[in-house]
Structure 1
């Protein structure tokens, strides 16, 4: 089987040479399926993939959510309930992993889900305990759950998101339309072309590296096809954000912030673990669910156009309910926030059945003497479902979403590093409801001053 690096797509491009821009690309269903799959990828995975695909001196900008990822990466394991919690944030699971595995070229290289049970095969109330995280300890006997189980899956239907073998048109701003002459004519006229005199054709072969670059530009540019295929000058990151103005919030959380009076700018917030859990949960959330929640209040490059294309397609063009899955992929099971501020829906736990030869399946007919298996919560502590970081804990969250655990930090050093007159700092206690929480999410993706943009702009 060919490796990802050997798998490619071939695109037919219509190019305006004078403007050095791609006007439209004709593409197969396989290519568009991969484009649409971007919506299922968690933000933490996107940050990791895009960063790994760039030189260190060319790190992509996506608001300041990168700083959240780096904060997790740089924090010691002691900050979290266990090492699994940290891994969950750095390598969150795609909620539609099983579908994306069928893509001709899947850009998400997160390790496939593996299933484990303990060597003693602990059983309770007629079900076996199952872990989808390597290195977990059995909550019943305490032994490592290191007995790996063979996962049997149905072959399923051919196709991923879109049906059939039709061709599609993908415009420079990632607007996707069915490949009808009438659609092309209308779009060309909108773009100012009344004939083909200034347009020429070219063919481009797209590899994994090209798809990763397209994903990056989809979030930061309004012309990703031109940026990638014509090596046009990299456009300035394109973001817009309009904070929602809510009424008096139904109080969910109160945090203490410190602001520069002279600049009307938040410097940092003093926060407990539940607020930090809320911020870290952004990393496990697919971009499609983020777009749904922001509902047009934030625009990231032209990923919104990809989202709108799915929304505007007839459901008849999609396999099953895959259009709904793309518009709100939800958070993968056991990766969602189970306490405090919660914005996103989490998928229900899948049901697995255990049979002979250490095989399991979601289809009981594929295993012999099927017995129900139940997933356990890797973030359990003393029997409670909690978030990712230990309780109680204190943190400083900076305006750019760098998070500093206070366990071994110096308050003297932190204040010295602010480099501002102490009498210019003032303290506020802010109540955060749903509107403020959504504003923080939008600001994290579009601004280098997320606390100021997300909390101060509407206060």
Structure 2
């Protein structure tokens, strides 16, 4: 499902003009054409798992060595979550596909992003597969995952072309992908993007303390894949990504802020029960005992686009400068976007079948799962054209003698979408550590486990916490901003509040 991101001789380059304060050795603002702005805005469509994978690969295939900066920068504890999935055995999941989905999540804006002059996402494009045996029957399964097993026991390995879906075929990018061509755009050091105009330039430069150009100099350069990937990384950890990448002064200010959200406890069917173990003397959650629902919720962080996460947290946290990019999209004049393709950017959806089935975040949505139709031919201008291999479409009216198809869902023990539960098998028990390392607890001695922790037993206290929307938001925010104490920062104040309520 994944490919490789490496530079090539045909790698496109993008002109960029920098306005630099030489005394401070920092970029003040840059001017860019729409091609590069489209790529920057596409950052918002990337699921967290894709971002972790791309940045990890780029460290191994780096062409330019960016001086003394550390080779690996963790995004909160999301890297630990990703590594946990990598290290878990295939047997923990319903099938091999589930693990691959988490490591290489699909981008719901895939059909748009493939028109970028440089598409960072190396995930294999969506394809459609049927069972060669069952395509002659009436109970038809369709899979968007290669190598899935049909209900008859055979592999669904007959690739089908989707007929009549122009949204998945993409569009002509002569006019642009997200923003319109034919003008320049301003990119500030903190990734704030504005439409290019003298008024915007004057206003922003004055706000930054520049009354004239005496201290400023211009630098023109060409930007390629390596610089853009480095920009992606710095956008998630730094408040000055342009300076970090293009001036490489070796020092940058990390930017992480998170304020736990408060609110009334609301119980509903999506709440997930979690058992946590607290070390009283340290006022710290050591670990949680978690079943499948909570593990699926955590793992779904990897399949969620960063733009959607920023929308969910709504200013309660900040990582690097990516939130400035997100705010820029929301504040852009809609007329500058390629309508309606710019609309998903403020809140890109989770790709269909890649979400958490029991999602506490009620505003976090999957793409709509379409009904697919199969037939032995297509209908054009009221004329039927036969096709011996058969055709599939989302549009029933385009198919000759249409038969509704059943969509294969890897998150189900039976492959049927109506039985989908999540990524990991049920029943199952896991240990989630405070830093989001996840390990299975099957066949593990609890006595040995406690002995190995080497913590006084009378210093331990067990709590049951209900993970609703507020708790889920706090865990999501803490996972992106905390380097080691996600459970403590996301949940400990809820435990304290629950204990106080119980004593009153």
TM over 0.5: yes
Distance 1:208 1:454, change over 3 A: same
- In structure 2, the CA distance between the partners of 1:414 and 1:203, relative to structure 1 (3 Å rule), is farther
Q: Point out the more displaced range, 332-341 or 8-17.
A: 332-341
**Structure 1 portions without partners, runs of 5+:** none
SS of 2:344 mapped into structure 1: helix
Partners of 1:47 and 1:102 in 2: how far apart? 23
Indicate conservation of the 8 Å contact 1:278/1:342, yes or no: no
Distance apart, 1:18 and its partner CA: 1.1
TM-score between the two structures when normalised by the length of structure 1? 0.93
Runs of 4+ more than 6 Å apart: 363-371
| Alignment deviations for residues 291-314 of structure 1 (CA, whole Å, 9 cap, x no partner) | 010000010101000000000011
Superposition pairs of residues 37-76 of structure 1, within 5 angstroms: 37-54=42-59, 58-76=71-89
**1:284 aligned to 2:303?**
yes
Is the 2:114–2:170 contact (alpha carbons within 8 Å) kept by the matching residues of 1?
no
- Distance, in Å, in 2 between the alignment partners of 1:124 and 1:319 is 43
Whether 1:380 aligns to 2:412 is yes
Alpha carbons of structure 1 residues 370 and 243: separation in structure 2 relative to 1, 3 Å: same
- Per the alignment, residue 202 of structure 2 pairs with 185
**Cα offset for 1:7?**
1.2
Equivalent pair of 1:13/1:23 in contact (CA under 8 Å)? yes
Deviation at 1:52, TM superposition (A): 1.5
Which runs of structure 2 are paired with 1:387-406 in the superposition (5 Å)?
387-406=422-441
Deviations 1:24-55 (A, max 9, x none): 11001110000000000001111111111125
Q: 1:170 to 1:340 in 2, by over 3 A?
A: closer
8 Å CA contact 1:105, 1:208 repeated in 2: yes
Q: Secondary structure at the match of 1:296?
A: coil
| Counterparts of 1:8 and 1:413, CA distance in 2 | 57
Q: Take 1:72 and 1:315, find their aligned partners in 2: how far apart are those partners?
A: 39
- Distance, in Å, in 2 between the alignment partners of 1:366 and 1:214 is 44
* Structure 1 residue 208 displacement after superposition: 1.0
From the superposition, tell whether residues 360 and 60 of structure 1 become closer, same or farther in structure 2 (CA, over 3 Å).
farther
Alpha-carbon offset, residue 374 of structure 1: 4.6
Deviation at 1:438, TM superposition (A): 0.7
1:114 to 127, 134, 140: 127
Query: Secondary structure of 1:31's partner?
Result: helix
Over aligned residues, Cα RMSD in angstroms?
Answer: 2.3
Q: Match of 1:418?
A: 453
8 Å contact from structure 1 (residues 114, 148) kept in 2: yes
How far the C-alpha of 1:456 sits from its partner, in A, is: 0.8
Aligned residue number for residue 368 of structure 2: 348
Picking from 17, 30, 33, the partner of 1:28 is: 33
3-state SS of 1:281 partner: helix
Superimposed CA distance per residue, residues 401-423 of structure 1 (whole angstroms, 9 cap, x where no aligned partner): 11110113343443244332222
Q: Take 1:124 and 1:315, find their aligned partners in 2: how far apart are those partners?
A: 48
Q: 1:408 to 1:335 in 2, by over 3 A?
A: same
Alpha-carbon distance between aligned partners in 2 of 1:4 and 1:333, rounded to the nearest angstrom: 35
Q: What secondary structure does 2:30 align onto?
A: strand
1:260 aligns with 2:279: yes
Aligned residues: 456
Structure 2 residue corresponding to 1:137, chosen from 128, 142, 149:
149
What is the deviation of 1:198? 0.8
Alpha-carbon spacing, 1:390–1:5, altered in 2? closer, same or farther (3 Å)? farther
Deviation at 1:3, TM superposition (A): 5.5
Partner Cα separation in structure 2 for residue 260 and residue 421 of structure 1: 9
Cα deviation for residue 157 of structure 1 reads 4.1
> Does 1:308 pair with 2:314?
no
* C-alpha distance in structure 2 between counterparts of 1:309 and 1:170, whole Å: 10
Residues in 1 aligned to 2:20 and 2:31: alpha-carbon distance in whole angstroms: 12
Task: Say if 2:174 is the partner of 1:156.
Answer: no
> Could you tell me how far apart the structure 1 residues matched to 2:83 and 2:263 are?
31
Distance, in Å, in 1 between the alignment partners of 2:227 and 2:401 is 47
> Retained in 1: the 8 A contact 2:308–2:347?
yes
Aligned with residue 449 of structure 1, among 479, 482, 485: 485
**51-60 vs 178-187, which moves further:** 51-60
* Residue range with higher mean Cα deviation, 177-186 or 425-434: 425-434
Superposition deviation, residue 342 in structure 1: 4.7
Deviations 1:296-354 (A, max 9, x none): 00101010000000000111111223333011111001111123535420001245555
C-alpha deviation, 1:121, in angstroms = 3.8
Distance 1:4 1:337, change over 3 A: farther
CA deviation digits over 1:54-80, x for unaligned, max 9? Answer: 259722121111111111110001100
Once the two structures are superposed, what CA deviation does each residue of 1:345-399 show, in whole Å capped at 9, x if it has no partner? 0001245555535655557798888766553212222452110000000111111
Q: TM-score, normalised by structure 2?
A: 0.85
